[in-house]
Amino acid sequence: MKLVITMSRRFGTGASIIAKELSERLDIPVYDKAYIEEQLSDHMYESEAEAIRKLAEKPCIILGRCASDILKDRMNVLNIFVCADKEDRIRRIMEKDSLSYDEAKEKVEKTDEERASYYYEHTGKTWGDVNDYHMIIDTSQLGVENCADILMHYFEKLEYI
What per-residue confidence (pLDDT) applies to 40?
80
What per-residue confidence (pLDDT) applies to 106?
98
* Chain centre distance of CA 74: 17
What per-residue confidence (pLDDT) applies to 11?
97
What per-residue confidence (pLDDT) applies to 45?
54
What per-residue confidence (pLDDT) applies to 42?
66
User: Quick one: which H or E segment has residue 120?
Assistant: helix 101-123
User: Which parts of the chain register pLDDT below 70?
Assistant: 1, 42-46
From 144, 150, 7, 135, select the one nearest 85 (Cα to Cα). Answer: 144
What per-residue confidence (pLDDT) applies to 160?
76
What per-residue confidence (pLDDT) applies to 21?
97
